[in-house]
Amino acid sequence: MALIETQDIHKIYAMDENPVYALNGVTLSIDKGEFVAIMGPSGSGKSTFMSILGCLDKPTRGTYKLDGIEVDRMTRDELARVRNEKIGFVFQGYNLLSRANALENVELPMIYRGVPASERRKRALEALKIMGLADRAHHLPSQLSGGQQQRVAIARSLVNNAPLLMADEPTGNLDTKTSIEIMELLVRLNEESGITIVLVTHESDIAAFSHRIVRFLDGRVVSDERKG
Amino acid sequence: MIGIGETVKISLRALRSNKMRSFLTMLGMIIGVGAVVAMLAIGQGASRKISEQIASMGSNMLLVLPGAQTSGGLRMGMGTQMTLTYDDALAIERECSAVSAVAPSVQGVVQLVYGNQNWSTVVYGTTPGIFEVRDLTMKSGRPLLDQDVRNSTKVCVLGQTVVDNLFGDTDPVGQIIRIKKVPFVVVGVVDERGPNAFGHDQDDVAYIPLTTAQKKILGTKFSGTVRSIGVKAKSADLLDKAEEQITELLKQRHRIGPRGEADFTVRNLTQLMQTAQESSRVMTLLLGAIASVSLLVGGIGIMNIMLVSVTERTREIGIRMAVGARTWDIRFQFLMEALTLALIGGIIGILVGWLTSIWIGRMAGWSIFVSPLAIVLAFSFSALVGIFFGFYPAYKASLMQPVDALRYE
């Protein structure tokens, strides 16, 4: 069953004179439980597509169904709710709140969902434990290594039990050894918890961890390969 | 939806992480609110002081004095001609509809003796009407009565200052004192009034029946004349009416034509004081308005810092939006931050203003009054400033596109 279904997605940035055509009709379907890597050179539209899949941006044209719900014409606040409940984000730059400790960062999505404080704490600690960071709960991001920060970010993406995890160059700032650790963690999450993962990367050895590689060029899908 | 408690926590953390900046922004509010509170305290202190003086003088009071006040020809000075009589006073009470009480009196500074103590004070020979005209209340004993005047009894009612100087701790009521060697029975003591508008001690006084005073103590050259007639109007609105009626009646009685120069003067003391109070009220408003300008500047400081803060924290806003913060959540967070700045600044400002006004009051010898209303007003005004000047930055933050906010460097 499809978790993500896009139909002829266009994204045009209206600059003063010359409009920029970032996406030119992307039709893609991703099933529940898939681990998909989106690849392409910079300017290929993969990041724009990622933002639309993550409900951070809206397509200019085309339809997008997430988990059976049409999200392409939703209001800002409705999209915020979809992001909160259905999508977890992991970014290249970790994007943790610098003034909040690991635990508070993990609690953040639950704050906006209205989860009571004690329950929030319990769930956040649990998620940190799964990430092997139980003893780092009260450290600030600046006191953690890159790999640890990325694991905090992954913990944050998990606490609301979102079915979809969007990872935007999650290993971009990490060394090879840590990159592999993080990727193995994602693979484990995909296999054990059945979380659908969409990964954007330009490194083929990182993409190799996925089961399906979609390549972008000039705002279009140019290839879509499944492993095995 | 995010709760208030969470938002306050987030705001406090954000303000704490930039202590110097938060403090300087608050300083603007502290100075603004402090100035407003101090100015209002000084202005209201002056107003209240005047109100107290009006009340201590007796409300709705007119004073009829003999002699003319306007210039022209040679005058011997007010009061040298004894043109007012006891009968004039009775006529005013009887015929002027706007008048509720009259108190004709003669007065003089006389030595009082009790045992081995003596004290010089102002002795008023008057009628029971004085108690109503001056709003006097009894601390102990009884006031003067009509029969005291009728029978020229030798009784007196004393002010607290006289009691303190003659009696010490002894209960004066029932004791006998000598006024100009004539023995008088003390029948009562009036409540304390404090100094009047001109610093005169209104408790340094003794009241005796008018007739007794005329015969035994302050014998006047023209019998039946009085030095002044205190008049109480029925209400503040009737003060002018009473003045008019008295002038007309006395001119008639003294056979002076409508255009002739009166041989008496009617003074409206209450009106005089009310004018003073009115001008002090205007002064308070003016001072408050000037101080409000600095509060406005403080508010602009908050807006400025919040705009900087929103720009600096674009990425934070992006992160919060990515994990599910709604428009209102973001707006509320920044609004709360501005409000926290304004309120903490406001509360410190109230304290600073309070202390400053006490200090100014002590240095300049002014009376200061920090009214609860002024504090509530200053507090709610700071909240209003926070909300008003915090709204635009918060609005700006809440309308960011999550994708742009996240990519902001």
CB-CB contact of A222 with A214 (8 Å): no
Q: Do A111 and B2 touch (CB under 8 A)?
A: yes
**Domains in chain B: boundaries:** 4-53+277-407, 82-262
User: Which chain B residues are within 8 Å of A51, Cβ to Cβ?
Assistant: 403
Number of H helices, E strands in chain A: 7, 10
pLDDT confidence of residue B69? 44
Residue B60's nearest CA partner among B228, B202, B201, B230 is B230
User: Which chain A residues are within 8 Å of B405, Cβ to Cβ?
Assistant: none
SS3 state of residue A8: strand
pLDDT confidence of residue B199? 67
Q: Do B323 and A97 touch (CB under 8 A)?
A: no
Q: What is the token pair recorded at A96?
A: 């943790």
pLDDT confidence of residue A34? 94
Separation between Cα atoms, residue B50 and residue A138, nearest integer Å: 62
Residues with pLDDT less than 50, chain B: 69-71, 78-79
pLDDT confidence of residue B137? 87
What kind and span of H or E run contains B119?
A: strand B117-126
Nearest chain B CA: its distance from A156 CA (Å): 9
For β-strands A87-91 and A164-168, DSSP reports them as: parallel
Q: Do A80 and B3 touch (CB under 8 A)?
A: no
First and final C-alpha spacing in chain A: 19
ipTM score here? Answer: 0.94
Alpha helices in B153-254 (DSSP H): 160-167, 210-212, 239-253
CB under 8 Å to B316, separation ≥6 — which residues?
A97
**Domains in chain A: boundaries:** 2-98+162-226
Q: Which amino acid is at B157?
A: V
In terms of CA atoms, which chain B residue is nearest residue A87? B323
Q: What dihedral do alpha carbons B65, B66, B71, B72 form, nearest 10°? A: 160
CB-CB contact of B238 with B245 (8 Å): no
Nearest chain A CA: its distance from B302 CA (Å): 22
Residue B191's nearest CA partner among B238, B132, B135 is B135
Q: Which of A51, A57, A84 sits opposite B323 (nearest CB)?
A: A84
Residues with pLDDT less than 50, chain A: none
Greatest Cα pair distance, chain B, in angstroms, is 103
User: Which chain B residues are within 8 Å of A167, Cβ to Cβ?
Assistant: none
Separation between Cα atoms, residue A127 and residue A149, nearest integer Å: 13
Q: Do B17 and A84 touch (CB under 8 A)?
A: no
SS3 state of residue A221: strand
pLDDT confidence of residue B374? 87
Separation between Cα atoms, residue B404 and residue B322, nearest integer Å: 11
The DSSP letter of residue B192 is P
Separation between Cα atoms, residue A87 and residue B83, nearest integer Å: 101
* CATH class of segment(s) A2-98+162-226: alpha beta
The DSSP letter of residue B335 is H
